[in-house]
Amino acid sequence: MEQMILKGAELIRSSKNILVFTGAGISTESGIPDFRSPGGIWSRYNPSDFYLDNIISSESSRIKYWQMSCEYYQVMKKALPNPAHLALKRLEDTGRLSAIVTQNIDRLHHRAGHSPDRIIEIHGTAFLVSCLSCGEIYERDEIEERISTGEMPPYCGKCSGILKPATISFGQAMPEKEMNEAIMLAMQCDLCIVLGSSLVVYPAASIPEYAVDSGAGLIIINRDGTPLDHKADVVVNDSISKIMQAMV
Ligand code: ZN
């Protein structure tokens, strides 16, 4: 382990263009439960209510979806960046960080103080709400307030269309602009650091693959093994906060 931390630190020191890829594991260390973990918020709902087709076609699915989402949003809103997020901010301050590509929708990287244009949210954000008909964007808190006065499910104030948190749901296409940007940065970076992602959700998980296949180094810090471990220079299965603090 000590050896791996030293090797990771040396890779970071000798790199000029680092791409960080983060998943749920970095947020669980801020107290945000992994969506899919047993006993999590999800296990009390029927996942079929969360498919885009059902959110659009069935008002009862939409209500269930909003109930789950509101519950989850309150947890995310209260969470704070942890030492792993803060270590990434220090990395940005050294001028070595090109971008953070995140699967997380909780804005913890923003709240750690990064320049917002360095953060690519490939699964969207829970902090905005969009209209599926006219594309109008609302602040989440504004919609939460309407829900708290009994407007459930909420509709667009402009066109009465269906409102949905600006996250990527099951059955919904990945945002093209963000994915293209992430892939381009992956092909240009000299080091990719994966934090808290099991790298099984595609196409998101392909981003570190683009980096390695273009000749970049790879560091993976995750609780469990990943399908890309065999291509990595450094793999540590431990707390992301602990290891990132030490490495950076
Ligand atoms: Zn609308």
Does an H or E element contain 137, and which? Answer: strand 137-139
pLDDT at position 37 is 65
Tokens of 14: 């000798």
Decide if 110 is catalytic: no
44-97: per-residue pLDDT in tens? 888 889 899 999 999 999 999 999 999 999 999 999 999 999 999 999 999 999
pLDDT at position 38 is 63
Residue 188 CA from chain centroid, whole number: 21
CA 47 / ligand 1 centre spacing (Å)? 26
CA 158 / ligand 1 centre spacing (Å)? 5
pLDDT at position 195 is 98
CA 138 / ligand 1 centre spacing (Å)? 10
CA 162 / ligand 1 centre spacing (Å)? 7
pLDDT at position 33 is 86
pLDDT at position 43 is 77
CA 157 / ligand 1 centre spacing (Å)? 7
All structural domains of the chain, each given as residue ranges with its CATH number in brackets, are 1-32+80-123+174-248 (3.40.50.1220), 33-78+124-167 (3.30.1600.10)
CA 137 / ligand 1 centre spacing (Å)? 9
Tokens of 207: 């981003």
pLDDT at position 39 is 66
Q: Is the pTM of this model over 0.75?
A: yes
DSSP percent split of the chain into helix, strand, coil, nearest 5:
45, 20, 35
CA 114 / ligand 1 centre spacing (Å)? 31
Q: How far, CA to CA in Å, does 122 sit from each of 74, 141, 177?
A: 21, 22, 9
pLDDT at position 19 is 98
**Residues of the chain falling short of pLDDT 50:** none
Q: Which of 109, 114, 123, 230 is catalytic?
A: 123
